[in-house]
Structure 1
Amino acid sequence: MDAEQPRVTTDERTWNEAILGAVFTQAQVGFHVLDHDLRVIKVNKVAAGRRGLPVDRIAGLPAAEAYAVLGVSFDEALLLDVLATGRPVTDRLVTGPPSAGTPRSSVFSVSVHRLEDGDGRVLGLVVTSTDVTAREGAQARLALLHDAHERIGTGLDVERTARELVHVTLPRFADSVVVALTDTVLRGRDPALDVGVTTPLLRCAAAGRTAAGPPVPDVGPVLLPGVFGDELPRSASLVAGTATSGVLPTDGGRPGPGLVVPLTAHGKVLGVVAFHRAASAEPYGPDDLALADAIAARTATCLENALRFTREHIVMYALQAWPLRQHEATQRAVDVAQRHRPGGTGAGSWYDVIPLPGARVALVVGQVENPGLSAVATMSRLRTAVHSLTTLDLDPHELLARLHAVTRRLSVEQTIGPRADEPTASCTIAVYDPVDGRIDIARAGTSLLAVVRPDGSVDERPVEDGPLLGAGGPPFACATDVLPEGSTLCLASAPAPGDEGARTGEIMAALARPDRPPETMADEVERLLAPDRVLLLARTRRLSSDELAEWEIPFDFEAVATARALVEERLDAWDLPVDPFTVTLVASELVTNAIRYGAAPVVLRLLRQDDGLVCEVGDAGQAAPNLRHAKAVDEGGRGLLICATLAEDWGVRHTDDGKTVWAAIGTRPGASPEGS
């Protein structure tokens, strides 16, 4: 058996020297050892070799001179503080000159520690440095991409988005930036599909440069597609630093390295952006290409959103375009002031002033919940439904019940997903009759509704709130009142979700001055409304004796001749350009039907209009008249057919006390209305 070999022992000093030697010769960290006078005692090859300087040229120099040779800024106060306190400084970023073969400045992470011997005496400092240029570059690119997501697309405007792209990337990514958008995009239209099919016409939408950057074109001119290359690239592409290959003019500077990035979304060409750096700057690399693609993708998304908003805004504006003022048709009943305060959210709010038979007028204000294009589309369909339903001469609460059914049907047709997305709406309908001042009001949902009487008193809640259309359903809150002439009815749509709503107290104070014209009142109230709300003010009137004639006819067939005589006498007094025979025939037939099929009392009424007159006959019967074609041998049954043939329009409306049959008779052919 061999004798056991003796174990080789190594003292601690030997280990320390070996470790220190390995660190200085093999570690990829730069070391500078300074004495307590801040002179360089020792440096390793990594620290010195990075700048291509021999060790003996640095050793023995004061730190300020040694660092000056390396082109690194020197903070003597920081070193002295570590030397005095012993508190180390770690990961302090220091910028140095570019390394050999690259124009980019180097970034070092520097740490400083105090050196002490075994007895605690201060010997000096050790300064370590690590090249973190790549790391800092990656963090800078990440920060730039984050800023692009935060600062690009703050508004729904394509030119503003282009300017934001310039502001974000200048000077952190380029010394000059040119954003060109297609002419189609700048006009708010849908761009052509497929990048490779067409070469669009480009216009400069935004441009900027630093003092060192090459010149840029003015905003507005047409940029021919060829200035971005033979064809638009499909992704970020490098371009040579020559003026002929980029969008930059040749006067006033030479372009440096650059790249061109298309702005595309879903196969649609929206524009192009060109980045250029100064001639002495570092060329763009693969990481820069990826960053440029990401920034361009963000910008293209924002541009597409802006285009979609523009198109939806055009559609919403068309759908929300109010009808022409119905002054000539409704001014005998009310004097109207209308306002709409747009806010850009696309709230589906609307108002309507609808003339009804018998000089009556329907005032409608509504608001579809959940603003947006779908809300405006729903609003347009509800408006159409209201106009159709008013032809039935329904009471307002009955009309709302029908409108609720329409809303539920629209909900089923257009809703996809949970029921929470189903459309609902608030609506207020008021029907005013200028003959007796009667007003019938019904409400669905919550809205601003007030009645201002001529003495200045304001009724803030003439009708209680009701359930929303499409939600709770009938019965809807309703009320009937008789308003003195000169009263003002104020209706405003309910606030959209998230709106602060109208300041009710201030609005009531503004309304409590009925001595002013409706237009003046509307101007003051409009300022107090939240955006996207509509306002309707109606000052009531009563028909005068020159516009209205009314008689109670005895419930006897012999009274038909008396009715004809009364009509002829009033037509002579009014001197209207209507055919007297037609009017008297229609009146006698309606009175005959009321006596034959209705119940007492029978009331005959003539309503004068600019384009003719309306003949109304009311009775206490509830039976609805039927238009039929009598046989040749029948002795009767032709009254309504005669009226329907001679009149321009006719109809029937039911009331609590019975019904009223009316017929509108126009002026004679070739006759001019009074006052024309």
Structure 2
Amino acid sequence: MSRVYPFDDAATARAVIDEDGTLVEWNEGATRLLGHPAQTVLGRPAARLLAGEDAPAPPTGPRWQGTVGLRHRDGRTVPVWLLAHRRSASDGHGGSWLVVTPLTGARPPADHDPLAEAGLIQSPCAVAVYDAELRLRRMNDAMAEVVGLPEERLRGLRLAEIGGEPQSDEVEQGMLQVLATGSPLDVQTRMHAHTAGEDRTHAWLARMTPVRDAQGRVRGVAVAAHDVTDNLRAKQRLQLVNEASVRVGSTLDVTRTAQELAQVCVPVLADFVTIDLLDPQDHGGEPPARLTAPVTLRRAAHQSVLDGVPEAVVKPGQTEEYPAGSPQADALTAGHSILASAAAGDMQPWLTWNDARAEQVRRFGIHSSMSVPILARGLTLGVAVLTRHRRPDSFTADDRLLAEEITTRAAVCIDNARRYSRERETALALQRSLLPRTLPRTVALEASSRYLPAARAGVGGDWFDVIPLSGMRVAMVVGDVVGHGVEASATMGRLRTAVRTLADIDLAPDELLTHLDDLVVRLSEESGVDAGPGEVGATCLYAVYDPVSRRCTVARAGHPPPVVLRPGCAPQALDMPAGPPLGLGGLPFESTELDLPEGTVLALYTDGLVWARDRDPETGREMLYDALGTAADSLDQTCDRVLATLLPPGGSVDDVALLLARTQGVPAAQVATWDIPADPALVAPIRKQVVRQLDAWGLSEAAFTAELVVSELVTNAIRYGSHPIRLRLIHDATTLICEVSDTSHTAPHLRRAKVFDEGGRGLLLVAQLTQRWGSRHTTEGKTIWAELPLFEADQ
């Protein structure tokens, strides 16, 4: 009797034999059966108790039963039916055998015994009845079939002795509770079923009810066992499908989606899974509907129950050609799933095509394989190969249906990710082709830039540009088109081209934004949307810096203001009118002018830099000020520091464009200005003054060309312009600029003079002698300018 089992334990003869055949346990019932006290047999070979020379063959399975002759203490031979259960190693102890036989089971039930009358003995449900000491009294044929032994052999044994598994002890504890409380109890467990032709673990629902006599006293426990294996498997499969729906396709990344598919299948469905996908580039950009061997696949993902995936021969990212006879090629060419197992012999052809894989199959004991094509929208994307080596059972038809269900769901996600990746790559290529590859080197600015596409939302319409203007001025622009994808990139390209075109005619920033706003309205109308103005929208900031006056004119259309970092000062956002976003139409834009000392840093950016889900924009701007305020040797280093400070490790949720510019000035000594009288006869003295100035600058070799250009421009201004007239010369190391300004708003135009015309050849001559020329309108009138390359004069 024990505290756990408070009944006579000697009603069963029980012994435990360890792996080497030594008796390690011997109860009172064994002493009662054979007369040997425990101290005389423990620690000695169990074979000494066998009578005769014919010993039974060593058992090979988890359970053995049979009748053997045992040696009694008085020397006689006692034939005994024994039931032996193999117990696996646990808690650092080796395996052993539990050997039992009932001592009182042969006693037939008494007449009108409620235990004998309890239960539906002929019921198809497996039913067993245990007495008040939890020893078997009756069981029906269904229970005998589950146990695999007849009732007369087991009568008198406890459930823990009949089952021999740790789960039997748990069920027996439930029976003891029913016996003590008199209340029914349900217990779910997993135990072996020893039905003929089958020896595998089943899921059981044990429904236990008390057995009462006529006076209502609890006299035993009736146990009805219901096999819920199929229900449990169906529930597990449904859970697996639901889990696959949630876990697979969490991102629009092909590799991540393939890895999620592999992780869902291991270990619930397989011990080792590989996901190999086709490269669409090998098939003209789109995966084919059908394939022929050999097939080249790229390993996208794999997963194993073993750490490090030691079964794999190919690493993720590597490609391999699979010939006919391989599980990958056979499933893809057949267009349906293929099951193979070592027991059936149909895995053998697959082991001959690759020695390395055949070695892995032998090393890990892979015995079953299932190849499932990954198909979506009529296209073949790849193949999933599931194998088992730890689980002893082979894949079944139900496993195939489950794998196909999961793979079909994952295939749609993989195809979505593939299409998204293709569109993203196209948009990114378009975006990069439309953005400046390098920023122009100008006298006015030292500039550096960065562009980063969104990590998940896809490529957007952010852009930046640095545009050289006349008079050594330079324009800076940063913009952001609403939306993402190819359409946003295409719209960005059209807007960037428009800005360059409008900048080329030297429009003021507010006028330029007005024209750009009209363009966006037209683009919105051409897109055919029904939402009205603003459907195709954008924000933009446009700034023009003059290195001669060191003044900057800025206008913005709903864009974040620039950050200004003057030498020796803290960074601060420029206080200026916000302006409406582009595409609303009909609303005014305002310009702001400011003086910028030489060495001032301007930071132009899109809102993706400072905006984040986990912080407000004001915090982002403060972080930007801190990053800009830290000393750096170069603008490139400052750009990198800004991005590292403000962007998360995984990338921004929106596109980011950043343009940093450090202003430079043209020294006053490199600028010369003259007021021109309204007398054509005084053009000659002006030419002489220009020649003397060029001599003073050391540019005498450019004097002849400059003298001709100045003569033509000044003469045209006197004849066709309005006073006052002003001439200005500006030069740097490579360029000489001649500018003539007057108060007339009439722009000159180039024409071809006829043979007998006395005039009309001046601007044609200027165009031939200079590398660029043009005109720009100002608030006072217009300026005609021409650029002469100094490096040609030096040659």
TM-score > 0.5, shorter chain as reference: yes
- Determine helix, strand or coil for the equivalent of 2:674: strand
Distance 1:122 1:207, change over 3 A: same
Q: Does 1:236 align with 2:332?
A: no
Q: Which residue of 1 aligns with 2:704?
A: 581
Q: Does 1:650 align with 2:780?
A: no
Distance 1:643 1:306, change over 3 A: same
**Greater CA deviation, 460-469 or 409-418?**
409-418
CA separation in 1, counterparts of 2:125 and 2:587? 81
CA separation in 2, counterparts of 1:629 and 1:347? 47
CA separation in 2, counterparts of 1:436 and 1:69? 94
Q: Does 1:353 align with 2:454?
A: no
* Mapping of residues 211-250 of structure 1, within 5 Å: 215-219=311-315, 220=318, 222-226=320-324, 227-228=326-327, 230=330, 232=332, 233-241=334-342, 242=345, 243-246=347-350, 248-250=357-359
**Which of 396, 399, 403 is 1:285 aligned to?**
396
* Mapping of residues 69-468 of structure 1, within 5 Å: 74-90=170-186, 92-97=188-193, 99-102=195-198, 104-117=200-213, 119-182=215-278, 184=279, 190-196=285-291, 199-210=294-305, 215-219=311-315, 220=318, 222-226=320-324, 227-228=326-327, 230=330, 232=332, 233-241=334-342, 242=345, 243-246=347-350, 248-250=357-359, 251-278=362-389, 281-321=392-432, 322-328=435-441, 330=442, 332-344=443-455, 345=457, 346-414=459-527, 422-456=535-569, 458-468=571-581
- Determine helix, strand or coil for the equivalent of 2:122: helix
CA separation in 2, counterparts of 1:119 and 1:311? 81
CA separation in 1, counterparts of 2:756 and 2:319? 84
TM superposition shift of 1:391: 1.1
Q: Does 1:665 align with 2:775?
A: no
Report if aligned partners of 1:361, 1:431 keep a CA contact under 8 Å in 2: yes
Deviations along 1:158-201, one digit per CA (max 9) or x if unpaired, are: 4444443333222221233233333x259998344221467521
Deviations along 1:321-373, one digit per CA (max 9) or x if unpaired, are: 34243343x2x112223233554242322211111111111111112223334
Deviations along 1:379-437, one digit per CA (max 9) or x if unpaired, are: 23322222222112111112112222222333344466756993321111101111112
* Mapping of residues 543-554 of structure 1, within 5 Å: 543-554=666-677
Report if aligned partners of 1:166, 1:179 keep a CA contact under 8 Å in 2: yes
Q: Which residue of 1 aligns with 2:38?
A: none
**Which of 607, 610, 635 is 1:494 aligned to?**
607
Q: Does 1:571 align with 2:694?
A: yes
Report if aligned partners of 1:456, 1:513 keep a CA contact under 8 Å in 2: no
Deviations along 1:604-648, one digit per CA (max 9) or x if unpaired, are: 112224443221111122222233334445443433333233333
CA separation in 2, counterparts of 1:195 and 1:324? 42
**Greater CA deviation, 571-580 or 39-48?**
571-580
TM superposition shift of 1:272: 1.6
- 2:502 partner amino acid: L
Distance 1:134 1:598, change over 3 A: same
CA separation in 2, counterparts of 1:302 and 1:257? 27
Q: Which residue of 1 aligns with 2:717?
A: 594
TM superposition shift of 1:503: 1.6
Report if aligned partners of 1:98, 1:105 keep a CA contact under 8 Å in 2: no
Q: Does 1:525 align with 2:638?
A: no
Distance 1:415 1:260, change over 3 A: farther
Q: Does 1:541 align with 2:664?
A: yes
TM superposition shift of 1:41: 2.7
Q: Which residue of 2 aligns with 1:561?
A: 684
| TM-score, length basis structure 1 | 0.86
Deviations along 1:541-599, one digit per CA (max 9) or x if unpaired, are: 22114532222222332332232112222233334486533322221221122222222
CA separation in 1, counterparts of 2:269 and 2:769? 81
CA separation in 1, counterparts of 2:283 and 2:257? 13
- 1:272 partner amino acid: V
- Note the residue ranges of structure 1 that are not aligned, 5 or more in a row: 1-16
Deviations along 1:459-504, one digit per CA (max 9) or x if unpaired, are: 4233222221123653124212232333222211123886554622
Report if aligned partners of 2:287, 2:380 keep a CA contact under 8 Å in 1: yes
**Greater CA deviation, 313-322 or 171-180?**
313-322
Distance 1:272 1:510, change over 3 A: closer
Q: Which residue of 1 aligns with 2:144?
A: 48
Higher relative CO (CA 8 A, sep ≥ 6), structure 1 or 2? Answer: 1
CA separation in 2, counterparts of 1:509 and 1:208? 45
Deviations along 1:123-173, one digit per CA (max 9) or x if unpaired, are: 222222211111111112222222333333445544444443333222221
- 1:150 partner amino acid: V
TM superposition shift of 1:70: 12
- Determine helix, strand or coil for the equivalent of 1:549: strand
CA separation in 1, counterparts of 2:245 and 2:167? 36
- Determine helix, strand or coil for the equivalent of 1:137: helix
Report if aligned partners of 1:366, 1:427 keep a CA contact under 8 Å in 2: yes
Distance 1:428 1:179, change over 3 A: same
- 1:538 partner amino acid: A
Report if aligned partners of 2:521, 2:533 keep a CA contact under 8 Å in 1: no
Report if aligned partners of 1:453, 1:487 keep a CA contact under 8 Å in 2: yes
CA separation in 2, counterparts of 1:528 and 1:36? 75
Report if aligned partners of 2:341, 2:369 keep a CA contact under 8 Å in 1: yes
- 1:277 partner amino acid: R
Report if aligned partners of 2:331, 2:337 keep a CA contact under 8 Å in 1: no
CA separation in 1, counterparts of 2:330 and 2:689? 89
Q: Which residue of 1 aligns with 2:587?
A: 474
Q: Which residue of 2 aligns with 1:615?
A: 738
Distance 1:615 1:101, change over 3 A: farther
Report if aligned partners of 1:438, 1:481 keep a CA contact under 8 Å in 2: yes
- Determine helix, strand or coil for the equivalent of 2:646: coil
CA separation in 2, counterparts of 1:406 and 1:509? 37
CA separation in 2, counterparts of 1:253 and 1:518? 57
- Determine helix, strand or coil for the equivalent of 2:203: strand
| TM-score, length basis structure 2 | 0.74
TM superposition shift of 1:457: 5.2
- Determine helix, strand or coil for the equivalent of 2:680: coil
CA separation in 1, counterparts of 2:583 and 2:197? 73
CA separation in 2, counterparts of 1:291 and 1:255? 20
- 2:322 partner amino acid: L
**Greater CA deviation, 443-452 or 61-70?**
61-70
Report if aligned partners of 1:606, 1:615 keep a CA contact under 8 Å in 2: yes
Percent of residue pairs identical: 37
Report if aligned partners of 1:350, 1:379 keep a CA contact under 8 Å in 2: yes
Q: How many residues align?
A: 650
Report if aligned partners of 1:235, 1:293 keep a CA contact under 8 Å in 2: no
CA separation in 2, counterparts of 1:515 and 1:254? 61
Report if aligned partners of 1:577, 1:672 keep a CA contact under 8 Å in 2: no
- Determine helix, strand or coil for the equivalent of 1:53: coil
Deviations along 1:441-465, one digit per CA (max 9) or x if unpaired, are: 1111131422233341554233222
